[in-house]
Amino acid sequence: MKLATLALALIVTAFPVASFAQDATTSADEQILIKQIQTNRRGVYAEYLKLTDAESKAFWPIYDEYEAKSKVLADRYLAMVDKFAEKYDTLTDADGSEILKERLKIERKRLDLKEKYTNRIAKVLPGKKALRYAQLEARIENLTQRNIYTLIPLAR
């Protein structure tokens, strides 16, 4: 069944992020992993959207723009996680409040970005394909985030 293939593809894209979250010290590794995730995501979208040539010409530039802006937020999130990791043993209430505020800002911006670009994609794809895109995006994001969150310990 295609869902099994999708699940496998999503897990494969999530694990590089998970391993990166454990060791966020080298930007070269970060760039390789981000490229790997982007490539895998593109493959998932290509396989499941089955775009016509005209749809591809309209979809991929919007998708690439969205991914570039998403990367900025992902970098910001990783910086926040690095800050938490640095202060983990000495975390104060003030540090916790600051990190929490940043996390909420990032989540809000991520949701706004997702809504903006999903709406743009919905204008260039037929309704069912636009919905399928949104479903794929949500599944990929949920699996990726779940794997990242399991690696980040709770504040003590």
And the tokens for 133? 């895109």
pLDDT in tens, 110-151: 999 999 999 999 999 999 999 999 999 998 888 888 877 787
- Written as one letter, the residue type at 150 is T
Judging by beta carbons within 10 Å of its beta carbon (0-12, 13-18, 19+), is residue 57 exposed, middle or buried?
exposed
Q: CA nearest 73: which of 121, 120, 40, 112? A: 112
- Helix ranges (DSSP H) in the chain: 2-22, 27-49, 53-87, 93-124, 127-151
pLDDT-derived band of residue 11, with 50, 70 and 90 as boundaries? very low
Q: Does the pLDDT at position 79 exceed 80?
A: yes
pLDDT of residue 30: 55
pLDDT-derived band of residue 16, with 50, 70 and 90 as boundaries? very low
pLDDT of residue 146: 82
Q: CA nearest 19: which of 29, 10, 9, 5? A: 29
pLDDT of residue 121: 98
Q: Does the pLDDT at position 1 exceed 60?
A: no
pLDDT of residue 150: 80
Indicate yes or no: pTM above 0.85: no
95, HSE (Cβ side, Cα atoms, 13 Å):
15
pLDDT of residue 63: 97
Q: Quote the crossing angle between the two packed helices 127-151 and 2-22, to the nearest 10°.
A: 40
Q: Does the pLDDT at position 89 exceed 80?
A: yes
